[in-house]
A and B are shown apart, each in its own frame.
Chain A
Amino acid sequence: MIKLENIEKYYANKGVKNYVLRHVTTQINKGEFVSIMGPSGAGKSTLLNIMGMLEEPTYGSYFFNEEDVTHLGERKKIELYRNHIGFVFQAYHLIDEMTVYENIEAPLLYKNVSSGERKSRIADLLDRFNIVAKKDLFPNQLSGGQQQLVGIARALAAQPAIILADEPTGNLQSVQAEEIMELFKKLNREDGITIVQVTHSEKNAGYGNRIITIEDGVIKEDLKIG
């Protein structure tokens, strides 16, 4: 599903190159649940951003579903966002001015999903995540765990093939974090959704089936588990 070939990323500052990623080559297959680990500043988030096409690599090529997407136009990128990729953020990033329902609805609006279809999908998601009662609340009226649930529901609404999650439990207490991780595991097992998450926690990484460890921009270890 994702193929990275010799990805490099550096920031040039006064003639000095600061490498964030060096010679990263890896492949993520459909149905995998990958955790990217490593110390702060290792380049985990940058790698995830490149996978999500939020950043472009300095060198190297990136294939998404066999298609070269290294340098993709704005429109094409947006098409991918609409149909194939779902994002989950550490700080949830719900739109504060929208209710829970509206937040989940937003991606469907951009996809021009019919109103009936929207309603049934959102109802389904609310039901599945057990947040039906909260649908008319605004994000700031929810706990962190609830907000992240909404964030995931939103990411799933467009029925993406892959979810990219940047420390999805970083701001949560451990009980809530466990819930979220269980949810990811379930989505991966039962719905076959590919998941790539960046995490600090060994425990969270344990929910997946593969761990990529990065140090100083280089892949140190690529471990299959479970």
Chain B
Amino acid sequence: MFKINLKIALRNLWKNKTYTAINIGGLALGLTAFILLLLFINNEKSYDTWDPQLKQVYQIRERHDFFTPDNKPRWQHITDSRIGNLLKEKIPQFSAVTKIDNGWGNSYSIKIENKEPILVSDIKNADSMFFKVFPYEFLYGDEKTALSKPFTVVVKQSFAKKLFGTDQVLGKQISVLAWRGDEAKPMTITGVVKDTETPETVAFNAMTHTGRREVDPDRPQSTNYCQVYALATQKLDTTNLNKTLLSTYITFKKANFAKREIKFEDFYKNGYNPGLKAVPMTEVHINPTVNSTWLEKIKPLIAISLFLLLISIINFVNLSTAQSVQRAKEVGVKKVLGVYKQQLVRQFLNEAAIQSFVATLIAVVLVEILLPSFNRQFDINLSFWYNNHLGTLLLQLFGLFLLITLLAGFYPAWIISGFNPVKVLKGNYETSFKGIALRNALVILQFVIAVTFIIGIGVIHLQNEYIAHKDLGFDRSKLINIATNYEDNFVERIKHIPGVQYVGTTTQVMGNSFNVPHEIKYNNQEYNLNTVTVSMETLPALGVEVVKGRIFGSQYKQDTVNTAVLNEAAAKLLGNDVVGKFYKSGKDEFQNTFQIVGVIKDYNNESFDKAVLPTVYKVTELGGTSSTNNLLVKFNTSQNKAVIQAIEKEWSKLYPNFPMQYTSLEAAFKKELQSGERIMQIMLLFSVISVALSLLGLFALSAFMAQRRTKEIAIRKILGASDLQLINMLNRSFLILVITANVISWPVAYILTRQWLTGFAYRIDMPIWPFVIATVSSVLVAILTTSMQARKAAVNNPVNALKYE
């Protein structure tokens, strides 16, 4: 019986090739998007699961306000380096604790003997305990002693092969330079570890041990931040553990404050509480400290791909039920031959299964084809066939296949198998044509989704355009940013290169911002400002607009001592008329007085979801910092290449062991726009697919409706209706559906896009055009689609239709 049903199914599918193709193709597209998403989620969830021992490893987080994007205290995974020793001494549950340098820059120069230096990423520096906490598998070398001596390094197998072409590199020497001025001191490779199967939070190509990480700063008031991980003797109850950690931390802080003569109560006030906690390694990736979680980030994507899948399922349901008329006779006959309803349901479910199976196969092929560009888009490395958890993945796919089959197949199967044989065999399909209301509802739903997508694209596009052309408050053209600190020797050299107009440094520039909180006293009132340390030529290099007063200049001697420039946001906060006034900052013997000499227009140095902070600009290092790693060079010529080559030449004279790195501000700006454009591209792709699918569904549905009304059309024609009148008649019902869908999607799209827009500090007002365009185009395309079918039915010779009976 199964064989014969399979045969019937295949013959039927072949007979209705077009609809079968639409059904399977639609499902395949929906599934493809979903599988990609599945791969992504699987990958994110597999972080730090490469060894069972990781269940006993904890990341330590401290609550503080150093290096947070808004200068407010937050839970952070960079902690006071003293925490490491504290845990070792006070928490017996931890058998090993390791400290790892937080990599501030992300490029390191590696030099092997006399070869040219190369830039690589993910070089980390740890204390000697690293491999006691993280259970990496050593291929060569001894894990117990690998990092016990200073200037040793353990490399990953893949990295060893990249550097040397072999993994037998034990005892070889490499020099690792984190900064261009570092001395090229050789390190000995003491171990080669196997690459892990799943991604790691503490990812590294090489783990160095300079010995620097073993010591804490001497002065109680200075703090060195690093990452701390601890291995517990067994899996711990984090609630209890965190209570112990917090009390230990408070005791530690009190002791530290006592040395610095600060009162605990003075420090922790206004909602700033002390905090120290442990997060299990397996949960670290899901709960990042500063960024939003990956789940948060891909929420819109999840929604979009779910909608796409939904649309393709709706298509399937609609087409199958509409087509069921053709199967009515088969069902009627089978019923009088003695077949149970369940058997029929099973038969039609099997047919749906065949189609969704083929769709799944096509989707897998599409996924394979799309993965490379998907990986490039999202900067990750996913694979399907080479997935480490292919078994799980296939199981998930099978589950998905079952779900789709049931969702798409059950309703049509139920409808078809419910046909009344007497009516069907009499040739009376009209009354057996069930489920019109439901199908109409589904068409409306499809179009709601499609129209919402179109509106979404429109709004996103307008917002992206707005940002791309927004006045940033600074001139990003002919401006490059070299990753280095301001060093007089180098600056003097490149200033003499023709074409170089200004050279300056800043702690804050688009692409590399470093917010430093700054408390000031102005008019006996305290304000929290952001402080940026610049050099003389920085503001002119950026081309900022002066609103009041002046910016720094070498002709003013006191500019290097105690003058400050505010941005408009800060000036507004202090009460506008500030030029010439004084403010104080710092405490006791460190207190300084600054004179405000000018106000500049706000300029953006972070992405557009953040507003420009009220900021004070200073040339002096008093109360600021000089480690910037930004060196801005402004050209007064468009011959960029030649100038940059000249700069690189100077660079290699001074720093032969470290290649020069730079970005143009234009590129930095483009990078800020990237995330918005990514969403836009994906939205565009998905909405084109969803609109196409919806239209295909409508097309097929209208074909069946026209077919169903063949007789009615013929009779009307004999009575004298014109073709146009008939087309109008047939279109009307679909037009109502599409217009209803539009009416529903307007508020939906409005709410969704408004919410998306509120994520931007700088945004457009809600535009009306996307709404109008979406409605007009959806109605037009729908009319065009259904008219094609209606016309075919209308111009038919009525005799053909009436002869049939």
Name A's B-contacting residues (CB within 8 A).
49, 52, 54-55, 74-75, 78-83, 85, 87, 89, 91, 93-98, 102, 105-107, 109-111, 154, 158
Decide if B685 is an interface residue (CB 8 Å cutoff).
no
Among A82, A91, A95, the residue within 8 A (CB) of B338 is A82
Inter-chain contacts of A93 with B (CB < 8 A)? 329, 332-333, 425
CB contacts (< 8 Å) of B8 on chain A: these are: 95, 97-98
Q: Do the beta carbons of B341 and A106 come within 8 Å of each other?
A: no
Residue of A nearest to B339 (CB): A110
Q: Are A109 and B338 in contact (CB under 8 A)?
A: no
Q: Which of B319-356 contact A (CB under 8 A)?
A: 329-330, 332-341, 343
Q: Which of A49, A52, A78 has a CB less than 8 Å from the CB of B340?
A: A78
Residues of B505-561 at the interface with A, using a CB-CB cut-off of 8 Å, are none
- With CB as the reference atom, state the residue of chain A lying closest to B343: A110
Is A106 touching B427 in the complex (CB atoms < 8 A)? no
Q: Which residue of A lies closest to B427 (CB)?
A: A91
Cα distance A111–B15 when bound, in Å? 28
Chain A residues within 8 Å of B339, by CB: 78, 110
State in angstroms the CA–CA spacing of A125 and B338 once bound together: 20
**From A98, which residue of chain B is reached at the shortest CB distance?**
B8
A102–B422 CB distance below 8 A: no
CB distance from A118 to the nearest CB of B (A): 11
Given contacts A106-B4, A106-B334, A158-B338, 8 further A-B contacts (CB under 8 A): A81-B336, A82-B338, A94-B333, A96-B330, A97-B330, A106-B337, A109-B1, A110-B338
Indicate if the CB atoms of A107 and B337 lie closer than 8 Å: yes
**Nearest residue, chain A, Cβ from B330:** A95
CB of B302 to closest CB in A, whole Å:
41
Q: Considering the complex, give the chain B residue whose CB is closest to the CB of A52.
A: B336
Kindly provide the distance from the CB of A210 to the nearest chain B CB, expressed in whole angstroms: 24
7 closest residue pairs by CB, A with B: A82-B338, A81-B338, A97-B11, A107-B337, A54-B422, A109-B1, A97-B8
Tell me how far the C-beta of B28 lies from the nearest C-beta in chain A, rounded to whole angstroms. 25
Residues of A within 8 A of B329 (CB): 93, 95-96
* Complex Cα–Cα for A98 and B329 (A): 12
Query: Interface SS of chain B: helix, strand, loop or mixed?
Result: helix
Other-chain residue from A49, A78, A97 in contact with B422 (beta carbon distance below 8 A) = A49
Inter-chain CA distance A89–B329, complex, in Å, is 12
Within B3-23, the residues touching A (CB, 8 Å) are 4, 7-8, 11-12, 15
Hey, which chain B residues are within 8 Å of A85, CB to CB?
336
Tell me the complex Cα distance, A69–B1, Å.
29
Nearest residue (CB) in A for B3 is: A109
A54, B1: Cα distance in complex, Å:
24
Q: Does B421 contact A (CB under 8 A)?
A: yes
* 20 pairs of residues in contact across A and B, judged by CB atoms under 8 Å: A75-B340, A78-B335, A81-B338, A87-B337, A93-B329, A94-B333, A95-B8, A95-B329, A95-B330, A97-B7, A97-B330, A98-B4, A98-B8, A102-B4, A106-B4, A109-B1, A110-B1, A110-B334, A110-B343, A158-B337
A185 to B628: give the CA distance in the assembly, Å.
Answer: 107
B524 to chain A, nearest CB (A): 90
- Chain B proximity of A144: nearest CB distance (Å): 15
Interface size class of B (residues with CB under 8 A): 20 to 34
CB distance from A140 to the nearest CB of B (A): 11
CB contacts (< 8 Å) of B4 on chain A: these are 98, 102, 105-106, 109
- Verify A110–B337 contact, CB threshold 8 A: yes
| Residue contact A111 to B338, C-beta cutoff 8 Å | yes
User: Bound complex: CA of A49 vs CA of B424, how far in Å?
Assistant: 13
Which residue of B is nearest A89, CB measured? B425
Q: Which of A79, A87, A97 is in CB contact (< 8 Å) with B336?
A: A87
Kindly list chain B residues whose C-beta atoms are within 8 Å of the C-beta of A102: 4, 7
Nearest chain A CB to B533's CB is how many angstroms away?
81
User: What A residues does B12 contact at CB under 8 A?
Assistant: 97
Of residues 395 to 430 in B, which have CB atoms within 8 Å of A's CB atoms? 421-422, 425, 427
B293 to chain A, nearest CB (A): 52
Which residues from chain B contact A89 at a C-beta distance below 8 Å? 425
Query: Within the assembled complex, what's the spacing in Å between the Cα atoms of A36 and B330?
Result: 27
Q: Which residue of A lies closest to B15 (CB)?
A: A97
Smallest CB-CB separation from B337: which chain A residue?
A107
Q: How does the 8 Å CB contact mask read for B337-380 relative to A, with 1 for contact and 0 for none?
A: 11111010000000000000000000000000000000000000
- Bound-state Cα–Cα, A81 to B340, Å: 11
With contacts A93-B425, A95-B329, A109-B1 known, is A78 near B338, CB below 8 A?
yes
CA distance A75 to B340 in the complex (A): 7
Q: How far is the CA of A78 from the CA of B751 in the complex (A)?
A: 55
Q: Name the residue on A nearest B9 (C-beta).
A: A97
Tell me the smallest distance from the CB of A181 to a CB of chain B, in Å: 22
Contacts of A55 in B (CB 8 A): 422
**Inside 8 A of A95's CB, which chain B residues have their CB?**
8, 329-330, 333-334
Among B330, B334, B338, B421, the residue within 8 A (CB) of A54 is B421
Q: Which residue of B lies closest to A102 (CB)?
A: B4
A-side contacts of B15, CB under 8 Å? 97
Chain A residues whose CB sits within 8 angstroms of the CB of B338 once the complex forms: 78-83, 107, 110-111, 158
B-side contacts of A109, CB under 8 Å: 1, 4
**What residues on B are CB-neighbors of A110 within 8 Å?**
1, 334, 337-339, 343
From residue B344, how far is it (CB to closest CB) to chain A in Å? 11
How far apart sit A82 and B343, CA to CA, in the bound complex (Å)? 14
A54/B336 contact (C-beta < 8 A), A89-B425, A91-B427 known: yes
Complex Cα spacing A55 to B336, Å: 12
Which of B1, B334, B341 has a CB less than 8 Å from the CB of A74?
Answer: B341
CB-CB nearest in chain B for A166: B425
A49 / chain B contacts, CB cutoff of 8 Å:
422
Residues of A within 8 A of B335 (CB): 78, 81
How distant is the Cα of A79 from the Cα of B339 in the complex, in angstroms? Answer: 9
Most buried by A among B333, B335, B341: B333
A52 to B333, CA, bound (A): 13
Determine the chain A residues whose CB is within 8 A of the CB of B330 once the complex forms. 95-97
Would you give the shortest CB distance from A47 to chain B, in whole angstroms?
13
Bound complex: CA of A55 vs CA of B333, how far in Å?
Answer: 15
User: Which residues on A sit within 8 Å (CB–CB) of B422?
Assistant: 49, 54-55
What's the minimum C-beta distance from A110 to chain B, rounded to whole angstroms?
A: 5
Nearest CB of A to B264, in Å: 80
- Chain B 768-796: CB-based contact to A (< 8 A → 1; otherwise 0): 00000000000000000000000000000
Query: Taking CB as reference atom, which chain B residue is nearest A79?
Result: B338
Contacts of B425 in A (CB 8 A): 89, 91, 93
A80 — nearest CB in chain B belongs to which residue? B338
Q: Given the complex of chains A and B, what is the CA–CA distance between A120 and B15 in angstroms?
A: 31
Chain A positions within 8 Å of B421 at CB level: 54
Chain B, Cβ-Cβ closest to A46: B422
Query: Once the chains are docked, how many angstroms separate the CA of A52 from the CA of B336?
Result: 9
Cα–Cα, bound, A106→B339 (Å): 10
Give chain A nearest CB distance to B192 CB in angstroms.
65
What is the CA–CA distance of A83 and B334 in the complex, to the nearest angstrom? 14
Most chain B beta carbons < 10 A, residue from A52, A81, A102, A111:
A81
Complex formed: what's the CA distance from A144 to B421 in Å?
22
